[in-house]
Structure 1
Amino acid sequence: MSLAKTALIAHTHNLDLVIRHVLAGLGHGIHAGRERGAGVEFSEYRAYAPGDEWRRVDWKLLARADRYFVREAERDSHVAVWLVLDASASMLEPSREVDGVDKLAYARTLLGCVAAIAQRQGDAFGLVILGGGKVQFTPALRGPRQLQRVLLQLSRAQADGALPDADTLRASLHFAQFPSVIFAASDLLDWPSPLSQALTRLRGMRHDVRVLCLQTQAEVDASFSSTPAYRDPEQGAGVVRFGADLADGYRRNRDEHFTQVKAQCRKSDIPLVAARIEQPPGEVLRLWLHRPGSRP
């Protein structure tokens, strides 16, 4: 059943349809923007302006004051949600169990779900795509049109080349000028990396940073086929075959690598969710949205 839910990602190119299907099974009350007291708490009233949602109008105050006022939440004024997608070449790694699903497709589905939740809650949200040595921005805005802009850019994202270098990413951190919740999806195979340095720096700037590490089931249990030859998609050098004699060394290196990743995330107070792309998206999304120490 879990594989069937994941297979939906491959069976349609309509990202909006997949997202609605995933979110339908989650129920209500998941708040991507809940952060250190700056969540949905009431802050102040302000005069209604064209374009404000009617559900935010305080009707009791209207009866007393004969004017329209909107309830302003702390998060509406000060917190933005940023989606960060690793679109380097290694994200093309496909599942060996679910045809048509790769890391990139799974990542953009989960990020699209976070965008839909942010839009539903009235948050401003934006997108950062990292791939081909470049940074592509979609500025943070609110509303249904912004959701369609973000989903379009996610749908168009192609895994290519390597991550941007450290100088390029460091110069790009201006996107998080205000308190932000940052959801970053990557396979974290390159660590430490310009991305890890940028995420650590953002956390040091007091942003709420949450990382999703995606792997395939074959990567987790070393069940690669020994028939095909493999080439590093980001370096382009070296062709290897994955035989049974290499499995133990692979597992050892993999365990050492991700032990280092987890240790640095823990040291930097960055919640890390490790998931396989064969898992049901809704199950992984629940874990990613929940910050340890907060109420579910």
Structure 2
Amino acid sequence: MLETAALLAHAGKLDLVIRHVLAGLGHGIHAGRERGAGVEFSEYRAYAPGDEWRRVDWKLLARADRYYVREAERDSHVAAWLWLDATASMAEPSREVAGLDKFWFARTMLACVAAIAQRQGDAFGLIVCTDGRIEFTPASRGPRQLQRVLAALKAAQPKGRLPDAEALKKCLHFARAPSLVFAATDALDWPSPLSEALVRLRHMRHDVRLLSLRTRAEVNASFKSGAAYRDPEGGDGLHRLQGADRDAYRHALSAHFGNVAGDCRRHDIPYVSAVIEDPLQDALRGWLNVAVRRSA
């Protein structure tokens, strides 16, 4: 909890949070290589601020008097897609850590995955499901792409419901080539249009992995007795959790997430569950270890 609280001090600057989280993490999101055997020249592109100088073609600079960067295709080429559930329920706050909510945790996890993909030289893009619509940041590579993705994550706000199943089905054209799909959600709405889309992507032979988020209060049913609660996405009146309701609540929640885990197993989707008050680094390490095992 102390680690998570410390990260919140940099909540307005995702790049600072990323640097803190990734310090010493030590591995990437798949078992590929960026340099050495298996790397073949693909194309030139104009130099952009932030590109590594070692990738500049100096002979071409002498001939053309312009900076160009060599792009390479690797034998382990993979694109990473970051999928953020930005619906209203993701605004659920921690009852223990001020300023912490599910959305901050999900957004920060995906920002770290983006930074690792950029470090590995992979293409990566972002999908945000919010207020009944889908927002895309197309996949690309490099430091400028990382800044685009971080800006889109910072601008996202948790509101409304998921897009409907038909809208999500139509959007799946983004993943034409084999891809890694990292989806962060609270999974409270399951089965859902999101779950159907992830299963469809898995059946299309993409490598999909799910992160579900809960607060400690949700896990332990440690809400204040008698406190009023309204479903932020349902709007179907107020609900009150009395002391006698806690066992039934825990049982229902356990059954629900058991169904989520069971669906993921049936469709070969690695599933990681995290409590947002726990260290974010531990949750990220578990998510990435799943990715490395799957792609090794």
Provide TM-score, normalisation by structure 1.
0.88
The answer to whether the Cα contact below 8 Å between 1:48 and 1:57 also exists between their aligned partners in 2 is no
**Aligned ranges for residues 187-202 of structure 1 at < 5 Å?**
187-202=186-201
Structure 2: distance between partners of 1:47 and 1:175: 22
The Cα offsets for residues 233-284 of structure 1, whole Å up to 9 and x where unpaired, read as: 0011120111111101101111111111111100111000000001111111
- For 1:194, give the aligned amino acid: P
Instruction: Show structure 2 runs of 5+ residues with no match.
Output: 58-68
Structure 2: distance between partners of 1:248 and 1:282: 31
Q: Which residue of 1 aligns with 2:90?
A: 91
Alpha-carbon offset, residue 134 of structure 1 = 0.5
- For 2:6, give the aligned amino acid: L
Q: Which residue of 2 aligns with 1:174?
A: 173
- SS at 1:291's partner residue? helix
Counting matched residue pairs gives 278
Q: Which residue of 1 aligns with 2:76?
A: 75
Instruction: Show structure 1 runs of 5+ residues with no match.
Output: 59-67
Please report the RMSD computed on the Cα atoms of aligned residues, expressed in angstroms.
2.3
The Cα offsets for residues 183-218 of structure 1, whole Å up to 9 and x where unpaired, read as: 000000001000000000001111110110100001
Q: Which residue of 1 aligns with 2:2?
A: 4
Alpha-carbon offset, residue 33 of structure 1 = 3.5
The answer to whether the Cα contact below 8 Å between 1:45 and 1:69 also exists between their aligned partners in 2 is no
Q: Which residue of 1 aligns with 2:65?
A: none
Structure 2: distance between partners of 1:183 and 1:278: 21
- For 1:115, give the aligned amino acid: A
- SS at 2:232's partner residue? coil
Structure 1: distance between partners of 2:118 and 2:43: 20
Structure 1: distance between partners of 2:187 and 2:148: 26
The answer to whether the Cα contact below 8 Å between 1:162 and 1:234 also exists between their aligned partners in 2 is yes
Which stretch has the larger CA shift, 107-116 or 232-241? Answer: 232-241
- SS at 2:158's partner residue? coil
Q: Sequence identity, in percent?
A: 56
Q: 1:228 to 1:70 in 2, by over 3 A?
A: closer
Provide TM-score, normalisation by structure 2.
0.88
The Cα offsets for residues 74-102 of structure 1, whole Å up to 9 and x where unpaired, read as: 234xx210000000110000111111000
- SS at 1:182's partner residue? strand
The answer to whether the Cα contact below 8 Å between 2:30 and 2:295 also exists between their aligned partners in 1 is no
**Is 2:29 the counterpart of 1:32?**
yes
**Is 2:248 the counterpart of 1:253?**
no
